[in-house]
A = this chain, B = another copy of it.
């Protein structure tokens, strides 16, 4: 059923959208095997799912959207529709009923739509932005140097293989993970 909207077996990297106190957006990995589920940590997506029992997802291939939504909520300007919530240039949207059990939300299809389809060659720069984003969301929590090395490794692939949009996404990513002034100054700083 979800296949026609772009979710296939494996982990589908999509933008999760939950609407409660505000419109909350975050990249999430929807796991499709015998069932459909998503791991939700202690974040707003989880809190809003708990409140409403509803999770929307958008299938989209815009690297800038993945980077921004990994670090903050997309403002309404990024949407082409809010009912259902559809980010500009998203390929499809799905509305799920979401039941929290332990670390997972188990998802049941309610509704969905395909807005457009893509014909674009594989771009390693795009893929590298996705990998860099995964590492960056961990890096901001622990500042581990091995994660920063990986982020920079993918940055070199973005530089070589990416287009304008991938380069813009990576530049944004590096801004988001910059140490805050307090961190940069270190414990002895003023």
Further 13 A-B residue pairs, CB within 8 A, beyond A13-B122, A124-B131: A8-B163, A10-B125, A13-B123, A30-B121, A61-B122, A91-B119, A92-B119, A114-B119, A116-B119, A118-B119, A124-B127, A124-B130, A124-B134
Once bound together, how far apart are the Cα atoms of A10 and B157, in whole Å? 11
A161 contacts partner chain B, Cβ-Cβ < 8 Å: yes
A23 contacts partner chain B, Cβ-Cβ < 8 Å: no
Given contacts A117-B118, A118-B117, A118-B118, contact A163 B123 (CB under 8 A): no
A6 contacts partner chain B, Cβ-Cβ < 8 Å: yes
Chain A residues in the interface with B (C-beta under 8 A): 4-14, 29-30, 59, 61, 66, 91-92, 114, 116-125, 127, 130-131, 134, 160-164, 166
A interface SS class: mixed
Once bound together, how far apart are the Cα atoms of A10 and B121, in whole Å? 10
Once bound together, how far apart are the Cα atoms of A131 and B117, in whole Å? 25
Contact B118 A161, beta carbon cutoff 8 Å: no
Residues on the B chain within 8 Å of A10, using CB? 123, 125, 161-163, 166
Contact B9 A122, beta carbon cutoff 8 Å: no
Once bound together, how far apart are the Cα atoms of A120 and B13, in whole Å? 10
Residues on the B chain within 8 Å of A162, using CB? 10
Contact B121 A14, beta carbon cutoff 8 Å: yes
Residues on the B chain within 8 Å of A114, using CB? 119
Contact A130 B121, beta carbon cutoff 8 Å: no
Given contacts A117-B117, A117-B118, contact A123 B14 (CB under 8 A): no
Contact B119 A6, beta carbon cutoff 8 Å: yes
A167, closest chain B residue (CB): B10
